Every structure is written in C-alpha cells, then in structure tokens.
Amino acid sequence: MKTLPYRNLWKWVGTGLLLLIVPVLVRDPYYLHLINMSGLSILLAASLNLITGFLGELNLGHAAFYGVGAYASALLTMRLHLPFLLTLPVASLLAAFSGALIAYPCLRLKGPYFAIATFGYGEIVRLILHNWDTLTNGPLGLRGIPGPAGFINSKVEYYYFILTIVALSLLAIWRLLHSQLGRTFWAVRQDSVVLAEMIGINSTRVKVLAFMVAAYFAGVAGSLYAHYLRFISPDTFSFLESSTALAMVIVGGLGTFWGPVLGAILFTWLPELLRSVSEYRMIFYGLLLWGSITFLPQGISGFLESRIRKNCTTGVARDAHS
Amino acid sequence: MDLLLEIAQQVINGLVIGGIYTLMALGMTMIFGILDQTNFAHGELYMLGAYAAFFFSMVLGIPYLVSVCLAILVGVLLGLMYEWLIFRPVRGKDPLNAVIASLGASIFIWNAALLVFGGAPREIPTPFLGEKVNLLGVSLNVQRLLALAVTIGIILALYWWIGKSRLGRAMRATAQNREVAALMGIKIGRVAELVFATGGALAALGGALVGPIFLLQPSMGLLAVGKAFIVVIVGGMGSVLGAIYTGFGLGVLESLTVGFLSSAYRDVISFAILILVLWVRPQGLFGRTGERGG
C-alpha cells in the first residue's frame, strides 16, 4: 500500500468536507481554540511517534524541538522582523538541525541510556531558555510575538491554516513511512539493526534522518504555537510537555499511524472534560501512562485493531506496516 | 587563607549533597544492574521519605532521629509497592516499558503529593540545625555533619552487605544471569523485592536527612532523580563503586560551581557532563562494557 487508500475515497472526501465546515458547526471561539490546539498536538505526537513508535527509541525530550521551533520563530520575527511565512520553515529547519545535533552523540546508546540522554538534552534546552536572559528574556518568556498579520487575523482563519499545515504534514509523514526510507526505520530498530546493516542499510544515517524529520515537524508545531498564542515561556517546553506528548503516543497507539492523532485529540480535550477536577489532571495523565503501558501496551488504536481483526475473517491491513 | 576556608566549606557542603545523590543512585544502579529495569520514579521515594519524616516529627511530634528510622520503614514499604505494581507486571517485556510505566507513576505520585501536601515549602524541625561546630576555622552545621556521617556509614554497610552476605550473593548471581540464578534455586521475585525495598529505604533515608537542610516540596524528586541519573550513568550503570565515587564527586563539583561561579550554571554543568560522558564513554567512567552489578 504505497499510496493513499483510494478505495476509501468517499470516506476521505467526507472527512475532508466535514473538517472544512468545522468553523460553521463550532461557533464557540473557545472550542475552536481547542480544535486549533489539537492540531498542534497532532503534529507533536505524530513527530514523536516517528522516533518512539517507528524507530523504537524512547525520546523524553521532544519538547526541546518544540521549544527550539517556537523560540527560533518568535525571535526571528521579533528581532529580525522576518515575515511569519519565512520564519515558519526556517525555525523548523533549525529544529531539525538541533535534532541532528542530539541524534549523533546518542546513537551509540541503547534503550534506557538513550532515553536518559534525551531527558538530559531536554533539560539543557529548558535551562538555556531559562538562563540566557539577553536572548530569551529568561523565565518571563517572550510576550507580544507578532502574528502573521495580513492574511491570518481570526481564529477561523487560523483554523484553516493549521488544518492545511497538519494535513500536509501528516501526508508527508505518511508518504515517508511508505517510502523505501520509511521502511528502513523499521529495519534499524534495536532487535534487527544487525540484519539491516547486513543488507547494506546505513543505520546511523537512517536514524539521524528520522530524528531530523521528527524534529522538523515538532519545530513546525512550535512555530505555529508561538505565533498563534503570541506568548511563550520556558515552562511550556518542560519535561512535563515531553511526557504529555509521550502519553499521547503511548495511549493512542505506539507505532501506528492514527494512534498518536487519536491520542493528541484525546489529551487536548481531556482537560476540558476534567475541568471541574482540574487539579487531578496530571494525576490522571500519570495513571493513564502507567495503565496503558502495563495493561494495553499497543494503545487504544492497537487494541481496537486487534478487536477488528478478531471479528473480520479477512483481516484488516495495518495502516503503518503494509 | 580565606579562599582555602571557603573552598573547604563548599567541599563539605558538596559532600553532603553528594551523599544524598549517592544514596539515590545506589538504589537505581542496583535496580538496573540486577533487574535490568530503569526506575524513573525513584525521586518520588526520596520526596515521600522526606515528607514521611516531616509527618512523624512535625504532626505526630516524634523525635527527629526516630522519625528518620520510621521514614526508612515507609521507604521499604513504598519500594515493595513499586516492585508489585510497577515493575513486576512489565518484567521480561521491552525494557522501555518499565521506563514508561515508572514515568507514569512518577507523574502520578508527585501530582498526588502536590494535592495532598500542598505546594508550599515545608521544613522539618531538628535539634541539630542550629548547632555549629568549629573545625580548623571551618564552621560546620551539625545537621549536615550528621547527614554526611549517616550516609557514609550506610554506604559502607551496603557495600559490605552486597559483597559478603548470602543475600548479596543471590543478588549478584541474578545480575549475572537471571535464568541460571533461577535454576540454582534463587527466587527472582524475592530478590527483586529485596532490591526495591533496599532502594526505597536508601532514597527515603536521603529525603529524611536533607529535609531539615533544604525545604520540602512535592517536586523535589524530579530534580533529584535527574541528578541521580547523571550519577548512575557517569559512574557506569550497574556499578556500585562508580555510583559512590561519582555521587560524591558531582556533589562537590556542583557546590564549588555555586560557590565560585553562579547557581544558574549548576544544573547546566551537571547535564553537560552527562552528555559529554555519554558521548566519549557511554559505559560510564567506572563501567566496563559487559560488566554489571557490584
């Protein structure tokens, strides 16, 4: 299944039309805001899934890439007065570069070592944002980041912009995963890396590339975040954010294409459902993370899939593998 | 001469902090070396140990030293809970599952603690904090000296216990080869319970000892676990001796950084050392490739 599943064309057209009329259906600006935030979470979770789901490496510092994208984009517009449409790709490329910077030294590390190294990187980035006052304005954060004035002015216009970016990014990730390169992501996982090397795959190159792609899309999310909310501070890109992104991927379904999307939406709306008990929110996240990996290691989408597979005699092709 | 005194002061402060890092790192390195599992929620044992000491001494009015002993008991119970609820269900699966499960537990515990204890910093009263002794011109706080002395004593006892006792031998056998150890009649479940109980006791002791020196906060475990990870990795994962040297070394280095540079750089330097060591010597300073356990 190299291309998009055209046999489900009508489903896709229906979903697309539904997404296009969302601003007509959702009048409440707050709910529209949450939908926009879901879009950013989807980018964050889908990019983390490339590393943790497909490459099989636990990344506990994903918020660092998100932060690099956000701060780079904000500073480029505020200090150099570059337009948003230029800073978005530039900041994302900078995030991708930081991904390569992290990937190279960590590649020799395995399993928990790798996870702890990424935890360390995340902390270093947060500490730099926190302490480099002259550049980042320290713990106070950056206020009054200019929005993309001129062509995006309202939440509705933001909705369409974010929708477009998320759709294009997911499409790009989908195409990547079903390309020759994407299949090598599976091949260089820990348990089969020796075999992969034997058939001529340069595992270092593949892993660094995967990291750069993941960091790029996290950077896109960061840049969107900075200009959409117009305020960023180091606290937004802390270890807590990294763990929330991880929870989206794990609870949604590690290594499946749609699982993290599902998880991202779930974790953006969950706080709303729990608003009356908001102080229990993080307690609930922790419980979900533990419960999911202990009782449902394949996540919600993996669980649903196995149920469907059990019911269908023909079986359903797994999206991401093919 | 003043500079020398200042350095001596900072080194002693550093040894106190380093001792606490070591207490935590020893538990984590044992869990990794013997059971091949990574405990991300180890900082919460430390935090709960400190709050337990606070509860016993402040709320129940029990003398400080007795409260410390009770806090160790709490640590043992918590360690056993960790083993039963978090680590045993994921044993034998992908090692990353243990990292994720304990990460979830960590987030759960510290946010629950925030809810129960509140975010306001608290202080454990102790009769030793106000007292000072003068040693060759260096003024030393008795609570710090007590913490340092207890830490060193416990570390020596642990080192002897792992090296010499029957239980220690069972633990080392399990570290070398779990299957063969099981065939030799060692109950792996028991060894795991023992390892987690020990780890919990050490971390809780650390929390109870520094509680009076620093303020108690529900988030104190998160930073501490970061530091303990640095110690465990730089010392060589699974190496008991490495954890001891690196723990004290890191504490002194941090203390000197704060004293002579700036407290802003303290954490940056620690994490930079972690990345540097991972880069040039991923097996750690005291670890040999393929070596595990004490």
| pLDDT tens-digit series, residues B123-158 | 877 777 667 777 777 777 788 888 889 999 998 998
pLDDT of residue A200 exceeding 70, the answer is: yes
Tell whether B108 lies on the interface with A, counting CB pairs under 8 A: yes
Contacts with B31 from chain A: Cβ below 8 Å = none
Element at A232 (helix H, strand E): strand A231-232
Q: What is the pLDDT of residue B199?
A: 93
pLDDT of residue A322 exceeding 80, the answer is: no
Cα–Cα–Cα angle for B229, B150, B138, rounded to 5 degrees = 95
Q: What is the pLDDT of residue A318?
A: 45
Note whether residue A316 is domain-resident: no
Q: How far is A131 from chain B, CA to nearest CA, in Å? A: 7
CA atoms within 13 A on the CB side of B98: 23
Q: What is the pLDDT of residue B1?
A: 64
Mean pLDDT of B240-248: 89
Query: Is A297:A82 a contact under the CB 8 Å cutoff?
Result: no
- The C-alpha atoms of residue A242 and residue A237 are separated, in whole angstroms, by 7
| pLDDT tens-digit series, residues A30-75 | 888 889 899 999 999 999 999 888 888 889 999 999 999 999 999 9
Contacts with B90 from chain A: Cβ below 8 Å = 293-294
Note whether residue A319 is domain-resident: no
Note whether residue A320 is domain-resident: no
| pLDDT tens-digit series, residues B188-207 | 888 889 899 999 999 999 99
Note whether residue A210 is domain-resident: yes
**Using the beta-carbon criterion (under 8 Å), do B226 and A119 form an inter-chain contact?**
yes
Q: What are the residues facing A232 on neighbouring strands?
A: A142
Note whether residue A295 is domain-resident: yes
Is B138 in a helix, a strand, or coil?
strand
Tell whether B237 lies on the interface with A, counting CB pairs under 8 A: yes
- The C-alpha atoms of residue B283 and residue B288 are separated, in whole angstroms, by 6
Tell whether A136 lies on the interface with B, counting CB pairs under 8 A: no
Tokens 């269900």 correspond to: B89
The CATH number for A225's domain is: 1.10.3470
**Using the beta-carbon criterion (under 8 Å), do B115 and A280 form an inter-chain contact?**
yes
Note whether residue A318 is domain-resident: no
| pLDDT tens-digit series, residues B211-232 | 888 888 888 888 888 889 889 8
Look at residues A52, A103, A68, A96 and name the one whose alpha carbon lies nearest to residue A208: A103
pLDDT of residue A7 exceeding 70, the answer is: no
| pLDDT tens-digit series, residues B91-101 | 888 888 898 99
Mean pLDDT of the residues in chain A:
83
Helix, strand, coil percent values for chain A (each to nearest 5): 75, 0, 20
Q: Count CB atoms within 10 A of the CB of residue A227.
A: 25
Q: How far is A286 from chain B, CA to nearest CA, in Å? A: 4
Query: Which amino acid, A191?
Result: D
Mean pLDDT of B163-178: 79
Domains of chain B: 2-280 (1.10.3470)
Higher pLDDT, A218 or A191: A218
Q: Count CB atoms within 10 A of the CB of residue B167.
A: 15
Nearest to B101 among A113, A240, A290 (CB): A290
Cβ pairs A/B, distance under 8 A: 113
Tell whether A70 lies on the interface with B, counting CB pairs under 8 A: no
Q: How far is A13 from chain B, CA to nearest CA, in Å? A: 38
Note whether residue A13 is domain-resident: yes
Tell whether B87 lies on the interface with A, counting CB pairs under 8 A: no
Domains identified in chain A, total number = 1
| pLDDT tens-digit series, residues B246-278 | 999 999 999 998 888 877 778 888 888 887 887
When scoring B99, B103, B115 by the number of chain A Cβ atoms within 10 A, the one with the most, hence best to mutate, is B103
Encode B217-278 in three state secondary structure. Answer: CCCHHHHHHHHHHHHHHHHCCCCHHHHHHHHHHHHHHHHHHHHHCCHHHHHHHHHHHHHHHH
Q: Count CB atoms within 10 A of the CB of residue B26.
A: 29
Q: Count CB atoms within 10 A of the CB of residue B289.
A: 7
| pLDDT tens-digit series, residues B8-31 | 888 888 898 899 999 999 999 888
Q: How far is B170 from chain A, CA to nearest CA, in Å? A: 25
Q: What is the pLDDT of residue A257?
A: 87
Confidence of residue A320 (pLDDT cuts 50, 70, 90): very low
Note whether residue A263 is domain-resident: yes
Domain that holds residue A279: 6-311
* Per-position DSSP letters for A120-154, written without gaps between them: HHHHHHHHHHHH-HHHH-GGG-EE-PPP-TTT--S
- The C-alpha atoms of residue A308 and residue A300 are separated, in whole angstroms, by 12
Nearest to A294 among B89, B115, B222 (CB): B89
In chain B, the residue whose alpha carbon lies closest to the alpha carbon of A127 is B268
- The C-alpha atoms of residue A51 and residue A207 are separated, in whole angstroms, by 9
What is the maximal distance between C-alpha atoms in chain A?
Answer: 63
pLDDT of residue B65 exceeding 70, the answer is: yes
- The C-alpha atoms of residue B202 and residue B212 are separated, in whole angstroms, by 17
Q: Taking the mean position of all CA atoms in its chain, how far away is CA B89?
A: 24
Q: What is the pLDDT of residue A248?
A: 92
Ranges of H-type helices in A178-298: 180-187, 193-198, 203-229, 239-253, 259-273, 281-295
Query: Is B231:B42 a contact under the CB 8 Å cutoff?
Result: no
Contacts with B279 from chain A: Cβ below 8 Å = 105
Mean pLDDT of the residues in chain B:
85
Higher pLDDT, B52 or A139: B52
